Amino acid sequence: MLLRAFSARRKPLLAGLFALSLIIGTLEGLFILIAKSAVTGAQWRTWSIPLLALALIVTVRTLAQILSTRLELRALFAWLGERRALLLRAAAARMFPAYRDPWRNTLVTALGDGMEDLGMGVGAGFRCLAALAHTLVLAPLLFLFSWKLAAGAMALAVPALLASRLRAGVLAASGKRWSESKAEMSLDTEAFAEGLEAQAGNGKLRDSAARLAESLDRHAHRSGSWETAKAVFPPALEWFFFMALAALALMAGAGDPGAGGNAGKGPAGLLPFGALLLLMYRPIREWARNYPVHLMGGQAWISLRNLQDTLEAFPLREPRPVSPSGSLLLEGVRFGYQSDRPVLDGFDLELAPNELTWIAGRNGAGKSTLLKLLAGIESPQAGRIFAPAAWTGTAFAYLPQKAFLDSDWKRWAGAFAAEQPAAWKTLDGILGLERIMAKAGDGLKGVSGGERQRLCLARAFASPAPYLLLDEPTTWLTAGDRERILGDLLAFWRRPDAMGASRGAAMVSHEPFLGEFCSRTVRMEPESVEVPG
């Protein structure tokens, strides 16, 4: 299944890899045939010609193996890149709430462990395919040594194949449990790391560490089961192989008058036959080692396809319809994180595009949800959101409660300061950006919470977007600086553009001083909204 998915647009490549594997198997068969002829002296009386032939065969086989490996890896990484890009494009193009659980965890797991398991599974599938090709070439050569021994080997292979098939089911189940456990362990470890500060401060770090230890122990147990299942598979095949070899030795003791060379001269005739059988054992063992990994990759592929189908079930991100009144308009909007418990239901609101609006109210009233709907992070389950015609195809500037500092912030800051030095100087005077950057040095990971908030505020207010959405923008700022900083930043945001117009904003905050800066206040309470005139 997994190789079929890979070969959907790469059938010539897969056929080429299979042909290369057949060539490698043929060369290995020639090797053993020439070695047998040299030992028996049936064709050559000197060692010089066989040695040259063997050296040539080994060289050509090595080159074919290198070429096959390079083709496999190049095709594999290209395919994984395509799958990853397809998944990310779908997540970006759809109204997929990737920021909240369980979607966030599912997406992170798919892009991390899921892609890794998928790549390992496809690579293992290549090696299983090569092992099959080698076996297909070498198996008929057994009949050149002794048809009776070859028939015995084929008969003994039937129960081995049946046992392998049964074992594959055990491997698949064990691999699925291990894969699920790995994702669970990764999420538990991430949650533990994020809560270290809070747990230590509350004296609960010991309990938190104990819970993580239990999770890791469960994963270790499942990992042990998976590794045991993988480890038992090849030795079981080895046992059966050597038992079969012993049975064939007993068969050879009866002699085989119909075979040439040494094949029919009792147990001694088993030696060249056994050498070929040992040569065949290598691809069989290679298949046994890689088949469990291929099964695990198949499960990763199923999970990835399920996630892809889930993504495509979400509506596309499309431009908002044009507002008939030229304002930012919500009509009959309904939304809830749980289908039976809407946060907003039949919600109507009109916001002027150049007006500063303060959105106030108690916790749980839906203020942050309203901003997410305006920003396009969430999609209404009913109703519509309209925007002015001039804003078609443009995004808003949005600052969430948990400010996110982009990894390219310094690069952006350098470009913005070079293009708009006056604006950068104003923002630096309000927020102390140069001081924070000098303190942080090459990286910005060492900044405090308040300093990170200042850096995020700078980028939001420097945005060329037509409208600004702020969710608790002063949370990390000191009490004495909040009113001054936000007032100065709003004045910077409201500076007239080339057409002499000012840009508007909607702000969620519990700060009472916002009433002085905003021309309008929207007070939200659970299941109600009050818009003072």
Domains observed in the chain: 10-312 (1.20.1560.10), 335-530 (3.40.50.300)
- CA 13 to each of CA 10, 17, 93, 106: distance values in angstroms, whole numbers, following the listed order: 5, 6, 31, 32
Token representation of residue 188: 């538990």
The model's pLDDT over 15-59, given as tens digits with 9 standing for 90+, comes to 777 787 777 777 766 766 666 565 555 444 455 566 666 667 767
Burial of 79 (0-12, 13-18, 19+ CB in 10 A): buried
- Supply the pLDDT for residue 260: 44
**Rg of the chain over all Cα atoms, to the nearest angstrom:** 34
* Distance, CA of 145 to CA of 10 (rounded, Å): 38
Quickly count: other Cβ atoms within 10 Å of residue 173's Cβ: 14
* Distance, CA of 127 to CA of 72 (rounded, Å): 10
* Distance, CA of 352 to CA of 391 (rounded, Å): 13
- Supply the pLDDT for residue 480: 86
Mapped onto helix, strand or coil, the DSSP state of residue 197 is: helix
* Distance, CA of 418 to CA of 513 (rounded, Å): 34
- Supply the pLDDT for residue 137: 75
- Supply the pLDDT for residue 270: 54
Segments of the chain with pLDDT less than 50: 42-45, 256-268, 531-533
- Supply the pLDDT for residue 250: 60
Token representation of residue 458: 């700078």
- Supply the pLDDT for residue 148: 64
- Supply the pLDDT for residue 506: 96
pTM of the predicted protein model: 0.72
- Supply the pLDDT for residue 266: 47
